Chains A and B, each alone.
Chain A
Amino acid sequence: MKNTQDTNQKRRQFLQKGAAVTAIAVAPGVMLHTAAKAKPVGEAVTDAVRWGMLVDAAKCADGCDACVQACNEENGLNLLQKPHDAEDEMWDQQIPKWIRNVKVKDNLTGHVTSLPMMCQHCEHPPCVDVCPTTASFRRADGIVMVDRHLCIGCRYCMMACPYKARSFVHEVVEHKLTRTPRGKGCVESCNFCVHRLDNGQTTTACQDACAKDGHNAITFGDLNNPDSEVSKALKEQSSTQIRADLKLNTGVRYRGV
C-alpha cells in the first residue's frame, strides 16, 4: 500500500511540477496577473492568498435578489423540498440560507440601506473557536467552512456566530449536487463557492449574478494581492466591517452601511 501511495504521490508531484514549468515557460506575462488568483487544481491552498469581498451597499438595488437566487442554484439550495407535513412559515425558518437580503434603517438619520449578508469569513472566527470536533475550520486561504465529515450537528457554531450566517440542515436531502454535498444533521454556510476557486475559477456565483444584472455591488478577489480589483477598491475608499467591535477582521467588507 505504501508503495502505491508513493508512486501516486510522485505522479502527482510530477504533474504539478510539469504544470508549473509550463506556466512559467509559456506565459510569464499572464502569470503576473492571474497566478496569485488561480491555484493549480492539484495543489493545497496556502495563506499567500486571502479570499475576500467588498459589498457596495449603495449599488445594491432594493428588491433585487439576483445574488440570493444565484447562490441557491449554485449550491443546490433550490433543490431542497419542503416535507409534506411541514408548515410554510416554520419550514422557511428551518431551510438553509447561505446569503440573504437585509434592509436596515439608521435610527437617527432614517437612511435606508439594502445589503446582502452571508458568512463574513473572519480571520478569528468564533464558530471555529467553539466547534468541539474541528469540523468548523478556516482554510489557509481564509475561507471559513464546515467539514461535514466531522460535523456532529451540535449547533454550537450557530450560537457563536455574530452574523447568524449558519444554517442547520433540518431534513433528509434527496437531491444533491456533486459540487455541494449536503445531508441531514450538519451545519453549513457560505464558502465563497469553494468548488469554483479550487478548480481555478476566481469569481463567486453571487458576484457574477450581481454583475450580470448590471449592479456590480459585489467585488471578490485576493485581499493579499495589492493589485487585485478588490484590494484596489478597498484601498481607494473607506469601508466597514459589520460588528467591527468584535475585532474578528472579516473577509467581507461593506461600503455605504
Chain B
Amino acid sequence: MMKKIYFREWGLESRNYWMLLAVLAAVAGIGGLAALYMEHHGHWVTGMSNQIVWGTPHVFAIFLIVAASGALNVASIGSVFNKTIYKPLAPLSALLAIALLLGGLLVLVLDLGRPDRLIVAMTTYNFKSIFAWNIILYNGFFVIVGFYLWTVMDRKMKCYYKPAGVTAFIWRLVLTTGTGSIFGFLVARQGFDAAIMAPWFIVMSFGFGLAIYMLVLMDVFKRDQRPLGDAIMKKLKGLLAVFVAANLMFMVTFHLTNLYGTENHAFEAFILLNGGIYTAMFWIGQVLIGGLLPLAILFHPTLSLSRGWLTAAAVMVVVGGWMTIYVIVIGGQAFPMALFPSKTILESGFYDGVNGMASSYTPSVPEVLLGLGGVAVALVVTVIGIRMLKILPLSLADEVADPHAGI
C-alpha cells in the first residue's frame, strides 16, 4: 500500500524566494523593455527582414509552446493511463504547461507588427487559417488545463478529474498538431511543406516538455530540501530516452523522405552539407546535443544514476531542441524559394536567391532578450504557483512513491 502523499506550498526561505523571484522578474522585465524598443522603432532594429520574416522570437515562442503541451504529458500518464506513480507529479505538470504556454504566447504576441491589435486577432477569425485555429486552441488550453488542475487539487471536484484529464490530453495533442501544421501546410517553401510536421512536433513536445519538467522538478525539490527518490527519476529518465529517440527517428524520416524526391535535393544539401550555420546547427545542435549525447547519458548504466548527468542530459535536450526549431524555422526560410524551377536567378531587386544564394539572418540582441524574457515569465509563473498553491508533494522518496505499489 502506498503511503499518503501530502502536498504543500514551496517552503523556500522567504529571502531566497524573493531573491529568485527578483532575478527572474528582472530578466522578464528586460525582455519587456526589448519588446518595447522593437515596437517603438519598428522591426528594422531586428535581424528580421522581408526574406527572413520569422526570427529568434519565433524560435523561442514555438519552442515554449511546443514544450508547454509536452510538459502536460506527465500529468496525462497519471490521469489518462492510470500510472499511479505519476499522479503526485500531475499538479506541477499542469502548472508548468500553463506557464510555458503563457511565456511562449507572450513572445509571439510582442513580436507582432501591431501587438496593440491583439483584440482583432481575438475577435476576427478566418477559419481557414491554422493560426486562427491556434488562437482558439491556445485559449482553450488555458481553460481546460486550469480546470484540470482544479480537479486534481480540490477533492470536491474529484468526479470531474477523469474527464478533465482526458479532455486535456486530447486537447494538447490537437494543439501541437496545430502548431506543426503552421509549417506543414506552407506549400510555397520546400523546408516546410510536409505532412510529417504535425506528428513530428508532437514527438518533439514530449521530449522538450519532459526535459523541462525534470529540470524544474529536480531544482525546486533540491532548493526546498524535499526528498526526490530514484524510483521516480528512473521512470522519467527512461521516458525521456524514448522521446529523444523518437524525435531522432522522425528527423531521419523527414530528411529521408525529402531525399527520395530529386526536387528536394538542393534543400537537403543546404541543411545537411553546405548551409553554413544551419548545417552546423543541424549536426551539432539537433543531432548531437539534442539527440545522441543525451541518449548516451540516459542509457549509460552508471552516468544515468547521477543527478548531475541527468541534469546535463535534460539541459542538452532543451538546448538541442531550441536549435532544432531554429534549423526548421529559420533554415527553412533562408533556403531560397523555387520561384522558377529549372532556372537560375541571375539578378533580382528583392533577394530572390540570386545564384541559389541563401538569405542571411543574424539575430539581434533585443530579439534574444525578448525570447529569454518569455522563458523568465514561464519560470516566474511556475515559482509563484508552487509558492502559493499546494502543487508539490512533500516527499517523492522511494518509500512514498514506490513504483511497485500502484502499477
Where the two chains meet, the residues of A that have a C-beta atom closer than 8 Å to any C-beta of B are 65, 68, 83, 86, 90-91, 93-97, 100-108, 112, 117, 126, 128-134, 150-156, 158-164, 166-172, 184-187, 242-243, 245-246, 257
Contacts and interface: CB of A to CB of B under 8 A. Distances in A.
Contact of B42 (A105, A170, A187): A170
6 contacts: A100-B350, A103-B347, A152-B112, A152-B121, A162-B188, A243-B341
Nearest to A129: B128
A152 B113 contact: yes
Given A134-B124, A170-B43, A170-B44, A102 B345 contact: yes
A154 B61 CA distance: 13
B130 interface: yes
Interface string B125-155: 1101111100100000000000000000000
A103 B126 contact: no
B239 interface: no
Nearest first, the 7 A-B pairs at minimum CB distance are A153-B113, A185-B113, A100-B349, A162-B188, A132-B131, A93-B49, A170-B44
B16 interface: no
A95 B346 CA distance: 21
B interface majority secondary structure? loop
Contact of A130 (B113, B121, B130, B341): B130
A167 B346 contact: no
A94 B42 CA distance: 11
B112 A104 contact: no
Given A91-B44, A161-B188, A102 B348 contact: yes
Given A93-B351, A101-B348, A151-B113, A107 B129 contact: no
Interface residues of B, number: 51
Contacts of B341: 243, 245
Interface of B: 41-44, 48-51, 53-54, 112-115, 117-118, 120-121, 124-126, 128-132, 135, 182, 185-189, 192, 333, 337-352
B187 A162 contact: yes
Nearest to B128: A129
A168 B43 contact: yes
